[in-house]
Amino acid sequence: MTMDTRHFLTLTDLTPDELRGIVTRAIELKSAHRKGADYTPLKNKTLALIFDKSSTRTRVSFEAAMTHFGGNAIFLTAQDTQLGRGEPIEDTARVLSRMVDIVAMRTFSHDTIEKFAANSRVPVINALTDMFHPCQLLADVQTYQERRGDIAGATVAWIGDGNNVCHSWMNAARLFGFNLRVATPEGYGPNADLLAACASHVDMISSPADAAAGAAIVVTDTWASMGQEGEKTERMTAFEGYIVDRDIMAVAAADAMFMHCLPAYRGLEVAADVIDGEQSVVWSQAENRLHAQKALLEFLLST
Choose the catalytic residue: 221, 279, 291, 293: 221
- Please indicate whether residue 279 is annotated as part of the active site: no
Stretch that binds ligand CP, among 20-28, 55-63, 154-162, 272-280 (CB under 6 A): 55-63
The answer to whether the bond into 263 is cis (omega within 30° of 0) is: yes
Contact string 73-92 vs ligand NVA (x = CB under 6 A) = --------------------
Contacting ligand NVA (CB under 6 A), which of 61, 107, 168, 225?
A: 225
All residues at 6 or more sequence positions from 218 whose CB lies less than 8 Å from its CB, including other chains: 156, 157, 159, 212, 244, 248, 249, 252, 256, 257, 258, 259
Q: Does 11 bind ligand CP (CB under 6 A)?
A: no
- Please indicate whether residue 289 is annotated as part of the active site: yes
Give the number of residues in contact with ligand NVA, rule: CB under 6 A.
9
Stretch that binds ligand CP, among 40-48, 54-62, 90-98, 264-272 (CB under 6 A): 54-62
Task: Report the 3 state secondary structure along 66-126.
Answer: HHHCCCEEEEECHHHCHHHHCCCHHHHHHHHCCCCCEEEEECCCHHHHHHHHHCCCCCEEE
The Cα–Cα gap between 53 and 45 comes to: 24
Query: Which residue has the closest beta carbon to ligand CP?
Result: 58
The Cα–Cα gap between 41 and 71 comes to: 8
Contacting ligand CP (CB under 6 A), which of 136, 142, 222, 225?
A: 136
Give the number of residues in contact with ligand CP, rule: CB under 6 A.
8
User: Which residues form the catalytic set?
Assistant: 106, 133, 136, 221, 261, 289
